Amino acid sequence: MSVINLVVIGYGGMGSYHARELIQEKEGVKVIGVYDIDQTRLDLAKENNFTVYPTLESVLEDKTVEAVLIATPNDSHKELAIKAIKAGKHVVCEKPVMMNTAELEEVMVTAKVEDKIFMVHQNRRWDNDFLIIRDLYKEKQVGELFQIESRVQGANGIPGDWRHLKQHGGGMLLDWGVHLLDQMLFMVDSPLKTVACDLSFVLGDEVDDGFISYLTFENGVKAVVEVGTTNFVKLPRWYVRGFEGAAVIKDWDLSGEIVKQTGTIDHHNLVPIQAGQGLTKTMAPPSEDATTTLDIKEVAADFDSFYHNFYDVVRNNAEPIVKNEEVYRVLCLIETMFEAAEKKEILTFE
């Protein structure tokens, strides 16, 4: 079947990345043009050999355009999505999908009425580090996981300009938080029962510069999801514990290890170690014959690439990998986290 002609709306960091790197004609989707309100971005698009559209209306009126990617500041997503859908275009939207669940509900209803596809680019479901942890969870390589800690930390503050402003949907919970929470809910196959959250405002912005949250699932899994922008020393990207071992992934380079219990730990004959000014058996490492250390190995996704899946959804009525109901659930969780942080309470979720 013919490729899907797509126009990128918003040629900033993510929009240009989609156009240059992510969208491949071999997967059934082709970027045929770019629109941006900033002339300097349009000039850059021309330099990158893309056709530029002078107005949004010129994009929506072009019958050769079958789909658009919305990669603009968060507060503009709803208006652009509804306009595009009503103009007969399928829509891919960058995260966070909308400012709140009410906006998303409106867009989902519009897409259903107009019989158009609306999908959200939750790209970090394809991250190698996440796929490794997801495989640990599914295959029980260190037994059933009961603790999952997911962190992203940097030391450069909040990037850009509009991300510092509440009216544009700034802040880290709506930025990186969307990714980490989507990964967690996509991985843990259980209702989420309770939520606690503490937002950080150490940089003095009106939006959060980070957060730490605690999630408890019905199946017993407890998760810590944390984002920081003032962390000059980072904690590991992932740390998980199971009933038969543990694993750590330290950073994006997939450095880390899996330690699996393969023998019996003799709790009555432990050898104490020196710990500061005292001795401890409790905190001594297990004997070498009780555990096996394994290297971290990459795991391939057991689902299609995003844009090939988008093509299949449009052309072949395939099932979306990123379902709008899942995106809605993440947005509900974010709203609950904002509420939990404001009230300083542990809130129930599902």
Q: What is the pLDDT of residue 264?
A: 87
Q: Is residue 249 part of a domain?
A: yes
Query: Above 90 in pLDDT, residue 237?
Result: yes
> Within this chain, do residues 129 and 116 fall inside the same structural domain, yes or no?
no
- Per the structure, the count of domains in the chain is 2
- Range of 98's domain? 4-121
Q: Inform me whether the pLDDT recorded for 226 exceeds 90.
A: yes
Domain boundary among 121, 152, 185: 121
Is 111 in the same domain as 160?
Answer: no
Q: What CATH number is given to the structural domain containing 42?
A: 3.40.50.720
3-state secondary structure of 36: coil
Choose one of 84, 105, 121: the last residue of a domain.
121
96 upstream amide cis, omega within 30 of 0? yes
58 within some domain: yes
**In this predicted model, what pLDDT tens digit does every residue of 71-130 receive, in sequence order?**
999 999 999 999 999 999 999 999 999 999 999 999 999 999 999 999 999 999 999 999
Beta-ladder partners of 23: none
Q: What is the pLDDT of residues 177-209, one digit of tens each?
A: 999 999 999 999 999 999 999 999 999 999 999
Q: How far is CA 55 from CA 11, 241, 288, 299, in A?
A: 14, 52, 67, 43
222 domain residue, yes or no: yes
Coil/strand/helix, residue 96: coil
Instruction: Establish if 269 belongs to a structural domain.
Output: no
Let me know whether 46 and 110 are in one domain.
yes
Which residue, 121, 155, 176, sits at the end of a domain?
121
Mean per-residue pLDDT of the chain: 96
Residues whose CB is less than 8 angstroms from the CB of residue 200 and which lie 6 or more positions away in sequence, other chains included? 172, 208, 209, 210, 211, 212, 228, 230
Any domain includes 328: no
Residue 139 sits in the same domain as residue 250: yes
Residue 118 contacts by C-beta under 8 Å, 6 or more apart in sequence? 81, 85, 90, 91, 93, 107, 108, 111, 324
pTM assigned to the model: 0.96
